[in-house]
Structure 1
Amino acid sequence: METQQQSWGQPSALNTIILLVVSYIFIRAIYNIYFHPLSSIPGPRAWAASRFPFIRSLLKGTIVHDIQELHRQHGPILRIAPNEVTFAQPEAWDDIFHPPQGQLLKDPLWWRRAPGSPMSLISAIEPEEHARIRKALAPGFSSRALKSQEPIIQRYVNLLVNRLRETVQANPSPGPSPLAEIDIGPWFNFTTFDIFGDLGFGESFECLQNSRLHPWIALLFNSVKAAAFISATRFYPVIEYVLMKCVPPSLQKMKQDHYQQIVDKVHRRLNYEMERPDIMSHVIGAGDDVGLSMDEINVTFMVLTTAGSETTATVLSGTMNYLIQHPDKLLTLAAEVRGTFQSDDDSEMTLDALRNLAYLNAVLSEGLRLCTPIPWILPRLVPPKGSTICGVALPGGTPVSIQAYAMNRDAAYFHRPDSFLPERWLQPQEKTDEKKEKSPFSGDRPEAMQPFSLGARSCMGQHLAWAEMRLILAKLVWSFDFEAPGDKGRWLNWEHLRTFLLVEKRPIYVGLRLRRSDE
């Protein structure tokens, strides 16, 4: 009886530990809210107190929408964690990505490579290492290189058109002409991954040929949510350590097999005896001067396959989704393309010719604005001596990021920001002050939108991305008549898509007919 009374009257070691942990969390939260160097930055107290609200939002896939709402409540400069600040203000682009004092380094928490893994263009944090890898790759992404790569791009876009034409003709639907209702999103992924496969490795992934994703790509998409979860554990190193120890050997082997497929593709490409105008040819041509190890080439081309394909397909999917819901815009685009070209022959519908189509460029610019392929720009770190961003002095080591999704949809920078209005990107033929004042878009700030980023780490593949988007969209609207699906309840609301580092895909149903001259 006495022993039992003692156990009740004296706290156990476990109770003591729990009490200490709770006290630490409480005291730390009070410090973060009221005494932290960032305590004066606007933001919700719960997010300032601890990382938990941020991590919860990240794992739910609602991070960009939640932060967009917080920006609306608290303004363009927002504290989203005890030590992190994010911006939805155009000036942040230059202050973070092109500051006069030099680059802000990538936050290792998000960008560092896994232990034992080779360095890639994406994971290179030090500017010197990044510049070394970029210098080796840049010639393959130049405007001059794109000119020689055009036949490869044309080949796969033509294959896309042919496969869709076969799909329509095989449809037994009643009516004056066959109608096929398809999910158009995967077809964009098939095309962009096949193009990069050929340009990067000398062989496509044969997605268009087989009308399905290559297993390597399917595994990539299926692992996106897991990647977000792993990223979240990095805020708590002990949890990350335990998690990595618990990874079963089967998953480790799957990861290695996934990487080995790219290694094999690179090896086959390096052993080609014939010359071909692809991206890898510039790496090979540089020889020993390229400065890249084989491991660096392998892992860099693995990450470029995703960065150079999935993002382009996302913009095309979102743009087509908006066009289907705005048939007047779709008709205007089709009229421009069909009025410019007599056919979609490669010798006529060239990449150079497509650059001059004003409405096509406007449609894609609006697609880039509303369907941001990378909605949330991962953080950079303020240098040790501190820095001033958008007029706010921040201490060294502060992670800072830009919310592209929130900024692109902010009424302070774009007229009717949630509406699909390609006309906002059309410049008046006579740039008079009077015409500017009459335009409802005269107050727009187009510099707020930087889909390919700025500075030394801007996207190398932006010329290729623009070429693919123009050619794919132009050939589709030249060859087909698109319409909304029969059941408008199947329309996709892009604003409801979740983000797990990449934008989560959902079906985008469209009605597809051959244009009358092709029947």
Structure 2
Amino acid sequence: MANQITEQVAELQAAAGRPFAAGTALLLLLLSYPLLRALYNVYFHPLSKVPGPLTWSATRLPFVWALLTGTIVHDIQELHRQYGPVLRIAPDEVTFEHVDAYEEILKPASPQFLKDPTWWKRQPGQPESILSAIDPKHHAHIRGALAPGFTPRALRAQEPFVQRYVNLLIDRIRELAAKHQESEIDIAPWLMFTTFDIFGDLGFGESFDCLQSSRYHPWIALLFGSVKAAAFVAAARYYPWIEYVLMKCIPASLREKQKAHFNQIVDKVRRRLNYEMERPDIMSHVIRKDEDLSQGLPLDEIEVTFMMLTTAGSETTATVLTGTVNYLVQCPEKLDRVVSEIRRQFQSETDITLDALRNCTYLNAVINEGLRLCTPVPWVLPRRVPPGGGTVCGVWLPGGTRVSIQAYAMSRDPQYWHRSESYLPERWLPESQNDPKSPFYGDKRQALQPFSVGPRSCMGQHLAWAEMRLILAKLLWNFDFAAPEDKEKWLRWEDLRTFLLVEKRPIYVRVKPRFQTR
């Protein structure tokens, strides 16, 4: 009897232990899965032969950390210097610092490398825009409706709008300097005010009144205030369960604020569509297209597209201008040369027109060098290798691989540029490009593609060039600029972080009016 009881107890203990053992095994499996996955990514993944640091190849976490801390373009630049032009920066992503990558990734050939939905997909509840449209046909349809408003011919009709706000900028800077013989100002917000006001008028028939009120419009202020939050949303998309929780945790008050933010643009669009008078702005071409419903855009797509274009067409231009001014005041000999060209070529401020500025060789070189060192879009956000795989820069990649282009790193690569970290507009002069004895003769200028290439290249590049030329020329014609006397106020562009957009920091300059009155 005692033996039977002992055997039953043993059986009960064994039965009780089986669930415990199974649970333990499951727990161990869950705990070991990340390690096993990391080992697979490093040694057995199809991308295991692509150069890159083990930590970045094993898991997405180093990439996410760099994204959230704003150091991503600088970290990847250093990694490219260490590992070469083809770099694995995540288990399923390869980035390129090679001239050929532009054509091979962004080419219009079929099948295309489509935009990675992780970055590009539209926000829930919003229609497609020209930036979020991943399908090539849908994108081409939206672009076709917008393109006539961005041609050189359209720009000639739009010049009075551009001139108006640049003149208003000059008035505001003059007012700031009026109280003293010489003033020190933060030029960055004023350049941003100007580009947003210009696009506001060209896009919606009304500016954001930034220059008029000498402050950011609430819509723009909220945009800049949410840039870091946007980086968190982008990072969360790599982990769908985190994104799901994050979206659920957004307070209702914040959702209402976002809705109100978007509705400000909706109101501007609808006011513009109700104009009875004709004006040669960007929206006028969309309206003409919209008369034929087979060619036009739905109202909601117009609204969200113009919201996206407002940022893309304003912030990037102001970023280049800000960086260019910053470099010029810290390089007095370059500043003196471009000032001499402008003041020698134009006897009167009214002579400064968009057509005339095309012939200012050194001014154009100054802007090109600004585009190189102050990259408005520091890296080309990922595309996906088409099903069946593809080859980029001689490296075969399986279908679905994320691929990106490091514009910031390429623009500063000593293999492509003589004295790559120095601000040297001379490299863009015709004599430097054509004379084999020039130290800049070997520069790979095709490595600079600030407006991208292919079917998704920037439509607004003519407008951007017009704004940059006109704003710089009129500022330098009207004022004498210099760097702050306190060198602690000097800003190194290389120190700015990137949270999708380039970090906004004060750019202090000394400014003295050339004339007492206009």
- For 1:258 and 1:11, locate their aligned partners in 2 and report how far apart those are by CA, in whole Å: 54
- For 1:59 and 1:201, locate their aligned partners in 2 and report how far apart those are by CA, in whole Å: 34
Residue in structure 2 matched with residue 385 of structure 1 by the alignment: 388
Residue in structure 2 matched with residue 339 of structure 1 by the alignment: 344
Q: TM-score, normalised to structure 2's length?
A: 0.94
1:214-261 Cα distance to aligned partner (Å, 9 max, x none): 010000000000000001011110111111111100010000000000
1:181-232 Cα distance to aligned partner (Å, 9 max, x none): 0000000000000000000000000000011100100000000000000010
- For 2:343 and 2:471, locate their aligned partners in 1 and report how far apart those are by CA, in whole Å: 14
Which is greater in Rg?
2
Please say if 1:42 is aligned against 2:51: yes
Contact 1:479/1:518 (<8 A) preserved: no
Contact 1:63/1:499 (<8 A) preserved: yes
Residue in structure 2 matched with residue 3 of structure 1 by the alignment: none
Please say if 1:155 is aligned against 2:145: no
- Secondary structure, counterpart of 1:410 in structure 2: coil
- For 2:219 and 2:390, locate their aligned partners in 1 and report how far apart those are by CA, in whole Å: 42
Q: TM-score, normalised to structure 1's length?
A: 0.94
Pairs within 5 Å for 1:189-200: 189-200=192-203
Pairs within 5 Å for 1:229-240: 229-240=232-243
Partner AA of 1:158 in structure 2:
N
- The offset of 1:351, in angstroms, is 0.3
Pairs within 5 Å for 1:489-508: 489-508=488-507
Residue in structure 2 matched with residue 443 of structure 1 by the alignment: 442
Residue in structure 2 matched with residue 110 of structure 1 by the alignment: 119
- The offset of 1:288, in angstroms, is 3.3
Task: Report the CA distance shift for 1:143/1:23 in structure 2 as closer, same or farther (over 3 A).
Answer: same
Residue in structure 2 matched with residue 175 of structure 1 by the alignment: none
- The offset of 1:486, in angstroms, is 1.8
- The offset of 1:31, in angstroms, is 0.6
Please say if 1:81 is aligned against 2:90: yes
- For 2:461 and 2:304, locate their aligned partners in 1 and report how far apart those are by CA, in whole Å: 20
- For 1:407 and 1:46, locate their aligned partners in 2 and report how far apart those are by CA, in whole Å: 23
Contact 2:389/2:396 (<8 A) preserved: yes
Residue in structure 2 matched with residue 416 of structure 1 by the alignment: 419
- The offset of 1:428, in angstroms, is 1.3
1:395 is matched with which residue: 390, 398, 410?
Answer: 398
Partner AA of 1:220 in structure 2:
L
Contact 1:193/1:205 (<8 A) preserved: yes
Q: What is the aligned-residue identity percentage?
A: 66
Residue in structure 2 matched with residue 33 of structure 1 by the alignment: 42
Partner AA of 2:53 in structure 1:
P
- For 1:66 and 1:455, locate their aligned partners in 2 and report how far apart those are by CA, in whole Å: 28
Please say if 1:277 is aligned against 2:276: no
1:392-411 Cα distance to aligned partner (Å, 9 max, x none): 11111111000000000000
Pairs within 5 Å for 1:348-359: 348-359=351-362
- For 2:132 and 2:161, locate their aligned partners in 1 and report how far apart those are by CA, in whole Å: 29
Equivalent pairs, count:
505
Residue in structure 2 matched with residue 361 of structure 1 by the alignment: 364
Contact 2:426/2:432 (<8 A) preserved: no
Partner AA of 1:111 in structure 2:
W
Gap runs ≥5 in structure 2: 1-14
Task: Report the CA distance shift for 1:339/1:394 in structure 2 as closer, same or farther (over 3 A).
Answer: same
- The offset of 1:283, in angstroms, is 0.8
Task: Report the CA distance shift for 1:430/1:41 in structure 2 as closer, same or farther (over 3 A).
Answer: closer
After superposition, the CA RMSD in angstroms is 2.0
1:237-293 Cα distance to aligned partner (Å, 9 max, x none): 011111111110001000000000000001111111111110001111223324211
Residue in structure 1 matched with residue 331 of structure 2 by the alignment: 326
Task: Report the CA distance shift for 1:103/1:337 in structure 2 as closer, same or farther (over 3 A).
Answer: same
Contact 1:38/1:83 (<8 A) preserved: yes
- The offset of 1:170, in angstroms, is 2.1
1:64 is matched with which residue: 44, 48, 73?
Answer: 73
97-106 or 42-51: bigger deviation:
97-106
Task: Report the CA distance shift for 1:8/1:497 in structure 2 as closer, same or farther (over 3 A).
Answer: farther
Pairs within 5 Å for 1:192-341: 192-289=195-292, 290-341=295-346
- Secondary structure, counterpart of 1:205 in structure 2: coil
- For 2:254 and 2:239, locate their aligned partners in 1 and report how far apart those are by CA, in whole Å: 22
- For 1:307 and 1:251, locate their aligned partners in 2 and report how far apart those are by CA, in whole Å: 24
- For 2:30 and 2:448, locate their aligned partners in 1 and report how far apart those are by CA, in whole Å: 44
Contact 2:478/2:515 (<8 A) preserved: no
Task: Report the CA distance shift for 1:441/1:245 in structure 2 as closer, same or farther (over 3 A).
Answer: same
1:60-112 Cα distance to aligned partner (Å, 9 max, x none): 00000000000000000000000100000001111011164442100011100
- For 1:211 and 1:9, locate their aligned partners in 2 and report how far apart those are by CA, in whole Å: 73
- The offset of 1:22, in angstroms, is 2.4
Residue in structure 1 matched with residue 3 of structure 2 by the alignment: none
Contact 2:496/2:503 (<8 A) preserved: yes
- The offset of 1:430, in angstroms, is 9.8
Partner AA of 1:452 in structure 2:
F
- For 1:47 and 1:15, locate their aligned partners in 2 and report how far apart those are by CA, in whole Å: 30
- The offset of 1:13, in angstroms, is 8.5
1:415-459 Cα distance to aligned partner (Å, 9 max, x none): 11100000000011994xxx32x1101111000000000010000
- For 2:212 and 2:16, locate their aligned partners in 1 and report how far apart those are by CA, in whole Å: 72
Residue in structure 1 matched with residue 10 of structure 2 by the alignment: none
Residue in structure 2 matched with residue 459 of structure 1 by the alignment: 458
Contact 2:338/2:363 (<8 A) preserved: yes
Pairs within 5 Å for 1:163-182: 163-171=172-180, 178-182=181-185
- For 2:429 and 2:383, locate their aligned partners in 1 and report how far apart those are by CA, in whole Å: 34
- For 1:466 and 1:15, locate their aligned partners in 2 and report how far apart those are by CA, in whole Å: 65
- For 1:481 and 1:358, locate their aligned partners in 2 and report how far apart those are by CA, in whole Å: 20
- Secondary structure, counterpart of 1:85 in structure 2: strand
- Secondary structure, counterpart of 1:428 in structure 2: helix
- Secondary structure, counterpart of 1:186 in structure 2: helix
Contact 2:432/2:438 (<8 A) preserved: no
- The offset of 1:20, in angstroms, is 2.3
- Secondary structure, counterpart of 1:154 in structure 2: helix
Contact 1:409/1:418 (<8 A) preserved: yes
Residue in structure 1 matched with residue 479 of structure 2 by the alignment: 480
109-118 or 66-75: bigger deviation:
109-118
Partner AA of 1:145 in structure 2:
A
Q: Where in structure 1 do 4 or more consecutive aligned residues deviate above 3 Å? A: 6-18, 99-102, 516-519
278-287 or 210-219: bigger deviation:
278-287
